[in-house]
Amino acid sequence: MNNTSGPIWIGAGEASGDMHGALLAKALLKQDPDTRLAGMGGPAMEKAGVDIRYPMQLISLVGLTEVIGGLPRILRLLRQVRETFEQIRPRAIVLIDCPDFHFRVIRIARKLGIPVYYYISPQIWAWRSGRAKFLRDNVRRVMCILPFEKEFYATFGMDVDYVGNPLVDQIPLDELDNLDVDDAHVGLLPGSRGKEVATLLPEFAQTARNLLQDRPDLKFTIIRAPGMDKSRLLEFWPDDLPVHIAEPDQRYHVIRSSRFVMAASGTVALECALIGTPALIAYKLSAISYKVAQWVVNVEFASLPNLILGHEVYPEHLQERASAPSLTQTATLWLENQQAYNGVKNELARLRTMLGQPGAPDRAARIILDDLATEAK
């Protein structure tokens, strides 16, 4: 018999997960107003009605060496999470991405007899695909948001739920489609983690300086990620280079108004693709982390738009190519070659048709609540 009185726990570990968790929280409360919600997340989930017990910044690590350095803190956090579960006895646990941390949470939940649901299934098709067996054996339902994931999981004997992509709900596409693009405006999204910003923003700044030599009319806007201080961003941007810093709630309007953006690899690539804005994708890992990634990654591309479309629409500037000379070369092409630029725009329009209809959070919430109701009988 399932516990029906405890809260539903939602776990997210980064800005995109916080956004998805907030949409799911709203859907759960709409379908069952008596549901109580608790979890790990950020400001969006808290605003949506989740009692945030642990801020998501506690697990915002990236790369092998960074994870190893933060391991004692992570282990301490896991002990605290277990104590919280024992205290509040969640009715269910819903996890969003972040498999390295959340797979450990799954083990804790299983020992305590708490059902686990995975929403925004981890991208294990990219690497360590054998972890699908762990999900098959330890999670009640897996919900996917990318069209090719259902087929991937089927190879492991799993019938997962494809609910569509919640970004279709999150992004006000009808409103944004009516906004004009400023061909002299470039958006910058250097990431939500300190390591990403420190690595990428200086390269973005030098790229901006290079572009201004031939296009002095260009304007640049850094979109601040939730939890990232403005002062931290300005540490990595030269004082003599004009820049505007936009708040997180302005991100979609800034992306839409930009001729193109330079962005850290992540969910933002898919956001830009849905909005229809070309993006230069950049990322750097530590040398050790990158070497490990080369050994284990199973996919051809790093960014989701390229994976969904099956070819490189968004140029991927990884490791040594995440540099100002390389970024400047591609950016100059998009500024000067309208045919090449329009080709990218056309592919983005095609991608939008591939991500399903609105309502992914509602469908996920219905699956979770119906399954819990069945288990409680």
| pLDDT tens for each residue of 310-325 | 899 999 998 888 999 9
What pLDDT sits at residue 286? 59
The Cα 331–Cα 186 span in angstroms is 10
Task: Evaluate if residue 235 carries a pLDDT over 90.
Answer: yes
Sign of the torsion angle spanned by Cα atoms 254, 260, 266, 267: positive
Digit-coded pLDDT (tens) for 265-298: 888 999 999 999 999 999 876 556 555 555 445 5
What is the maximum alpha-carbon separation in the chain? Answer: 69
Bridge-partner residues for 246, per DSSP? Answer: 223
* Cβ partners under 8 Å of residue 105, min gap 6: 11, 78, 81, 93, 95, 116
Percent of the chain scoring above 90 in pLDDT: 70
- The mean of the pLDDT values for the chain is 90
With bands split at pLDDT 50, 70 and 90, how would you rate the model's confidence at 63?
Answer: very low
The token pair that represents 13 in the structure block: 């570990």
Q: What is the pLDDT of residues 189-219, one digit of tens each?
A: 999 888 899 999 999 999 999 999 999 999 9
For residue 227 the two structure tokens come to 């939890």
CA distance 365 to 16: 18
- Residue 193 — left, alpha, or beta (φ > 0 → left; ψ -120 to 50 → alpha)? beta
Q: Which of 57-61, 121-125, 129-133, 202-206 shows the highest mean pLDDT?
A: 202-206
Predicted local distance difference test score (pLDDT) of residue 227: 81
Model pLDDT, residue 151? 87
Q: Cβ contacts of residue 133 below 8 Å, gap of 6+?
A: 156
Using CA atoms, how far apart are residues 156 and 146, in angstroms rounded to an integer? Answer: 17
pLDDT at 292: 52
- Looking at residue 152, what is its pLDDT? 87
C-alpha–C-alpha distance, residues 46 and 152, integer Å: 33
Q: What is the pLDDT of residue 295?
A: 46
* Residue 88 pLDDT exceeds 90: yes
**With the C-alpha atoms ordered 161, 164, 165, 169, is the resulting torsion angle positive or negative?**
negative
* pLDDT-based confidence at residue 64 (cuts at 50, 70, 90): very low
Q: What is the secondary structure of 294-311 as a DSSP string?
A: HHHB--S-SSHHHHHHTS
Domains of the chain: 8-166+359-376 (3.40.50.2000), 173-352 (3.40.50.2000)
DSSP lists the bridge partners of residue 37 as 8
Give the three-state DSSP class for 190.
coil
Two tokens, residue 223: 């979109």
- Is pLDDT at 66 greater than 60 in this prediction? no
Give 128's pLDDT tier (boundaries 50, 70, 90).
low
Tokens of 61: 């690590």
Closest listed residue to residue 330, CA positions, set 317, 319, 339, 349: 317
Looking at residue 119, its pLDDT comes to 95
DSSP codes joined into one string, 243-284 = -EEE-GGGHHHHHHHEEEEEEESSHHHHHHHHHT--EEEEE-
> In whole angstroms, what is the distance from residue 203 CA to residue 205 CA?
5
Reported as a single tens digit per residue, the pLDDT across 150-175 is 888 998 999 999 999 999 988 999 99
Structure tokens at 310: 């099956």
**C-alpha–C-alpha distance, residues 277 and 289, integer Å:** 30
Which of 282-286, 299-303, 332-336 is modeled with the greatest confidence? 332-336
CA distance 163 to 151: 14
